[in-house]
Amino acid sequence: MKKKYYSMAQTGNVATINIYGDITSFPWFEGDVSASNLSRQLEELTDVTEINVYINSYGGEVAEGLAIYNALKRHKAKVNTYCDGFACSIASVIFMAGEERVMGESSLLMIHNAWSYVCGNADEMRKQAEDLDKITQASVIAYKSHSTLSEEEIKELLDNETWLLPEEALEYGFATSIEKTETENTSQNARMSLLEIIKQHRQEVADDDEEEDPEDEGNPDDDEGEPDDEGNEGEDTDEDEDPEKQSEEETEEEETEDEEDEATQKLCVFFNALSKL
């Protein structure tokens, strides 16, 4: 079944609503949502305890958005709203209907004053301006019900047509939490752990090499030619090492180093593969 941009589904006692389009009284396109359609469907959800509303919308008609906001607030189930992309204009008011209001880590709210168009004389223009102030006030009330900002500060944000990052939305009380993607963090943690393992492995190899080949202290020729207690000149008592034996030891050391390098390379390959998951 093809997924609609606007849809409602119920699984057990949890309902999911996707608002991925414009909010309008005349839904022409697949993603459009009207208050009439959504409210009727909400009334049918009599046995749900939780409603999750996922939003990605540029907004739309204020009247429709306010009706959806109030319908969600009125429902007996717990309502959680999620901003998946943009929650702009009246869609940001619908976002405020959630008891839990969750911003995606790459999402934005946009709030501004209501706007319209009008034709007529000066009196009609002035009346339209006064009407818009009152229409905007309805949105201010919705924001103020949760925001930590004063009404004057909220109105200033509206006047400036403000875009809010998740951290700002959380700070101002518009959101209650930010949903972060854990995949990248997990990958980075694994990356750092593996790098630490490789670093420790290389350090252990270097320490072993230093223990096997300590630097000689003093000059071995210092005692050469010195008489011993019996008056004889010192003579080397150590027999020269067998060149063949020495060659075998060097070969073994080289093989050991090759094996260690190979193990390190395998760790690096494993790490690169893991970081791409």
Q: Which residues belong to the active site?
A: 89, 112
| Encoded tokens for 172 | 């101002």
The span from the CA of 59 to the CA of 219, in Å, is: 86
The span from the CA of 251 to the CA of 240, in Å, is: 19
What are the b/e assignments for 204-213, b being 16+ CB within 10 Å? ebeeeeeeee
The span from the CA of 61 to the CA of 36, in Å, is: 13
The span from the CA of 237 to the CA of 239, in Å, is: 6
The closest of 181, 208, 216, 195 to 274, measured between CA atoms, is: 195
